[in-house]
């Protein structure tokens, strides 16, 4: 197909060389030799998304990803064309995404995880939203097997039987304000869904404030009820409260479940001893 066209195109180009050198190279130029790829791209998810914003973007898209290609057009080989764009190419049209270099997603950047590890190009139709190479939970699991496996634990964040999407809590592009972790929400990822546990309270329970929920809870999945880090609540509390008043006889079952009396473990508006909500 390409070969057959080449002769005709070469003739056209011989006449047109002067003007192509000056005018910006558009999709039309590439389509002379890559009709199938150009048509598939234009009608594919990326092409459609581009056209919905501005049809002119589609016109310059081939060179945005594959490079200026001036040499390639005159003397096409596989050597003088950029097959795989670098992330800079994507960022030229998606400036909002340079957050990839934020500290939050630095782990991805440091480890060379790039746009095309997660996204398709748009040359082929994909079954997912956002041109992801696979459905979000499968995509993350490809590289994070143990975190995704945790969602099979007896207690885990699930929506019915379906594990939560990782992207419920992690924002992969780094548009977050949570330091090391890529999280949604401004005050911590848990706040978005559990505002009643986060206060502010008249009598807050300090660990809440200082290090947040993951002092006591595992975010992904846990063998312990309520996603707690320890099986027995007393063991959890006594990690920090080594000096409970002496009438607390922690060898007795009555004192094993601290939350039976200190019901407001997350903070109270009425009682500094956290015994009433």
Q: Per CB under 6 A, which of residues 140..199 are in contact with ligand HEC?
A: 140, 142-144, 147-148, 151, 155, 157-158, 164, 166-173, 180-182, 189-190, 192-194, 197-198
Residue 87 is a binding residue for ligand HEC (CB under 6 A): yes
Q: Which two tokens stand for residue 259?
A: 């939350």
Question: Closest distance between ligand HEC and the C-beta of residue 47, in Å?
Answer: 7
Extract the tokens encoding 156: 């885990």
Under the binding rule (CB under 6 A), the answer on residue 266 touching ligand HEC is yes
The verdict on 204 binding ligand HEC (CB under 6 A) reads no
* Minimal distance, residue 200 CB to ligand HEC, in Å: 11
CA–CA separation, 1 and 33 (whole Å): 9
Residue choice 17, 186, 260, 269 for contact with ligand HEC (CB under 6 A): 260
Closer CB to ligand HEC, residue 223 or residue 255? 255
Q: Which of residues 47-76 bind ligand HEC (CB under 6 A)?
A: 49-50, 53, 57, 60-66, 69, 72-73, 76
CA end-to-end span of the chain, whole Å? 75
Least gap, CB of 36 to ligand HEC (angstroms): 8
Q: Which residues neighbour 12 within 8 Å (Cβ) at sequence distance 6 or greater?
A: 32
**Residue found under tokens 């016109």:** 59
Q: Is 16 in the site for ligand HEC (CB under 6 A)?
A: no
Q: What is the size of the binding site for ligand HEC (CB under 6 A)?
A: 131
Distance between CA atoms of 259 and 244, rounded to whole angstroms? 14
- How many other CB atoms are there within 10 angstroms of residue 26's CB atom? 16
171: nearest Cα among 86, 97, 111: 97
Residue from 28, 117, 125, 249 touching ligand HEC (CB under 6 A): that is: 117
Kindly tell me which residue out of 44, 102, 201, 274 binds ligand HEC, with binding defined by CB under 6 A: 274
- Please give the Cα distance from 221 to 230 (Å, whole number): 12
Place of tokens 């066209």: 5
36: number of CA atoms within 13 Å, CB side? 4
The smaller minimum CB distance to ligand HEC, of residues 254 and 270, is found at: 254
CB of 102 to ligand HEC, least distance (A): 10
Least Å distance between CB 48 and ligand HEC?
8
Copy the structure tokens of residue 84. 């795989």
Q: Which is nearer to ligand HEC, 94 or 276 (CB)?
A: 94
Please state, in angstroms and rounded to a whole number, the distance separating the CA atoms of residues 226 and 156.
Answer: 9
Q: Which residues contact 52 (CB under 8 A, 6 or more apart)?
A: none
User: Is residue 92 a contact point for ligand HEC (CB under 6 A)?
Assistant: yes
């Amino acid at each position: 197909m390409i070969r057959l066209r080449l002769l005709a195109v070469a003739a056209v180009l011989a006449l047109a060389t002067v003007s192509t050198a000056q005018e910006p190279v558009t999709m039309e130029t590439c389509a002379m030799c890559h009709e199938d790829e150009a048509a598939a791209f234009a009608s594919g998810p990326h092409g459609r998304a581009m056209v919905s914003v501005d049809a002119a973007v589609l016109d310059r898209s081939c060179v945005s990803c594959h490079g200026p290609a001036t040499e390639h057009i005159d003397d096409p080989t596989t050597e003088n064309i950029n097959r795989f764009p670098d992330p800079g190419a994507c960022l030229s049209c998606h400036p909002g995404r340079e957050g990839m270099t934020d500290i939050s997603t630095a782990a991805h950047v440091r480890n060379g995880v790039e746009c095309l590890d997660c996204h398709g190009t748009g040359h082929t139709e994909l079954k997912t939203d956002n041109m992801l190479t696979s459905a979000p939970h499968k995509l993350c699991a490809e590289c994070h097997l143990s975190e995704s496996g945790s969602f099979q634990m007896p207690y885990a964040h699930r929506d019915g039987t379906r594990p939560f999407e990782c992207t419920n809590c992690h924002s992969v592009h780094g548009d977050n304000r949570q330091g090391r972790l890529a999280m949604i929400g401004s005050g911590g990822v848990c706040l978005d869904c559990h505002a009643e546990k986060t206060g502010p309270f008249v009598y807050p329970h300090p660990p809440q404030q200082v290090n947040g929920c993951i002092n006591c809870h595992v975010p992904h999945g846990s063998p312990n009820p309520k996603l707690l880090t320890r099986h027995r609540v007393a063991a959890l509390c006594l990690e920090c409260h080594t000096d409970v008043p002496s009438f607390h006889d922690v060898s007795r079952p009555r004192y094993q479940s601290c939350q039976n009396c200190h019901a407001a473990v997350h903070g109270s508006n009425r009682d500094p001893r956290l015994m009433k909500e």
